[in-house]
Chains A and B, each alone.
Chain A
């Protein structure tokens, strides 16, 4: 944030760093200068995006005394992504320019850079009953974050605020939504308030004046931090973060929203209305909506109807997945363009449904659900005419082991009856891809083993190395169940963790996962 004096500072560093000459482009990686500064970086990797046919250029350079030299570039380059890396090549900071603009000699390009941090938030349901039927009391909880620039595994202790039901990243900016909960359903109700969260130190600021109605479902932000789109069960809202106002764009239940910034700098909202559940029969009643935010291109309007399950934006374009047709396509303000069929997906026995989508630099990450309880992640080029073979990055059938409390060694392995991908997002410009899953387990009573009838619900955050599919973080934020019968000896149970999985350090750190987002995330 202290970037204005860069030229003078570069001049002062001239003896140790590369000299700045008239005509050079000065690239300033703007870190917060606070406790959340990226640390441990020794090199920088920069992707310079140019218009066709120039394409993208990747440069990397060693950082010496806070300065680096990337050689020479074509002045037609229009936007920049920068990743700070440590000695082992891991991303410890990432940022990108919000708008496209041609470079000029003597100009200064500022790229805000932040740590790669994933945020999850959600409510808490506690069983306060004493019988076999749970009586749930719902409350709000702080958001949890996982800082991928440090090697610590998540345990729920890294928290922000006190009542976060949704976190929204908008480039280098972060916002938190608070809203009241209701018993015993857990539905969010009352006015939804939006509070800025500092990405320098995670301090929560004062609520913006604008409020929203309906239970909040999803949110997205523009890279420049100026606009947010928020979907609730009753309306689609646009938030002007500078004026602090919220205005409704359309009526209806909007469960997926995304923001697209076009090459000309126009900001639009794309959203899915009436998204159906992804388990069970496929619903084709979902609607794709488009709403111009910064232009006079008219009001929010319906573009298409189908089995739309998720949206993503990348490079000024918006994309969708259709869970029923098994297709990945592009959506514009007026139509859906030629989609790409995803092999092995669609409706039919054994076929997976594409239910989640994130796109980064032309690479689509598609979340797959196969009934009854297998979730997976597939990577493919987003281009409809691409000939690349989609690659499965990860796939797993949900299982959960429960321990009989007080009976060492007595365990029960449960297979899930359903598993759903709730959120999917790419972090650090494509180094990481993260998703959250929720799964439901039922174990029938087993008289021979004194095992009772039991149901369990789990919610997890998984962060993968986007190139290899290796698990970087696997954090179970929620695991709770109900024992519906008992046979004498075994009473309470708890959830076991598997190898590579971490869980909340204590029940007070647990919460459901209503949202997941990265700073500078792509979804």
Chain B
């Protein structure tokens, strides 16, 4: 991975921004700035949709921002001409932590720039750019690629909450195969979207098992009712289990038989046996 560039390039007029992990639910507004270009119509709306789908950010599009800021939003944005400090002031009035500014210009190709402006610092935190052939439209995968490069990786880690409540205390809780402690247990914050198998188990009681699909930012309450063993289901009786074991053992024996018997056919007339070795 070679570094290439001008030997006399001037560095460091803008200091690199040190990122902590910003609030994954912060307010972000997405604005569009066009330098005399009508290319890529609806690109800001597509970025809003992508961010809403991929992250837990509170994303406002241009129309929603205009509703709060006022109808002069577009005039102010034009006056800002893409300058980060000016655009940050728009974000400040909306109460946003960041502004995603999408710039579209044409220089033979269509130039798409997406800048993430930190409102508090009034600086560009990150930016991506792409040049697209005239008439070209970025695919959904490309837009997803832009946003993942623009925002910190922590923004794409999404969570949901599963609250498991049992009618007994001291029951072992297992979620997704991992032990999580004994009831009563605190609500669990887990990666989402995902499907989790939940098991609540206590000696002398019939285990409770279920499977839940946890959506991003969703909260699911699971009420586990454990009942004492006593009237066992038919498949829990010892004689049924013993019979099943016999069937399994029988199948194993059959497999061994087929695996070891001699299957080499007699050589038909006019054919040759072929045997080999690795030397």
Contact = CB atoms under 8 A, between A and B. Distances in A.
Interface of A: 2-3, 5-6, 9-10, 13, 17-21, 23-31, 33, 41, 44, 46, 59, 61, 63, 66-75, 82, 84, 103-105, 113, 127, 130-132, 372, 401, 405-415, 443-446, 448-449, 451, 479-483, 486, 488-495, 497, 503-504, 507, 510
A415 B115 contact: no
B4 A481 contact: yes
A443 B131 contact: yes
10 contacts: A28-B277, A44-B278, A72-B267, A72-B268, A406-B12, A415-B132, A449-B113, A479-B2, A483-B9, A486-B5
Contact of B275 (A20, A104, A444): A20
Nearest to B276: A27
Given A68-B275, A103-B272, A411-B128, A448 B1 contact: no
A24 B272 contact: yes
A253 B274 CA distance: 47
A67 B279 contact: no
B129 A18 contact: no
B254 interface: no
A130 B16 CA distance: 25
B261 interface: no
A405 B277 contact: no
Interface of B: 1-14, 16-17, 19, 35, 82, 103, 105, 107-109, 111, 113, 115-116, 125-133, 142, 145-146, 149-150, 152, 264-265, 267-268, 270-279
A409 B132 contact: no
Contacts of A61: 276
Nearest to A18: B275
Nearest to A20: B275
A330 to B, nearest CB: 32
B264 A69 contact: yes
A492 B9 contact: yes
Given A72-B267, A415-B133, A494-B2, A409 B274 contact: no
Given A5-B279, A494-B2, 6 more contacts: A9-B277, A44-B278, A66-B278, A409-B19, A414-B130, A481-B4
Contact of A66 (B146, B149, B274, B277): B277
B275 A70 contact: yes
Given A68-B275, A409-B126, A444-B108, A482 B4 contact: yes
Contacts of A507: 1-2
B275 A10 contact: yes
Contacts of A46: 276
A6 B82 CA distance: 78
Given A406-B16, A408-B19, A486-B6, A413 B128 contact: yes
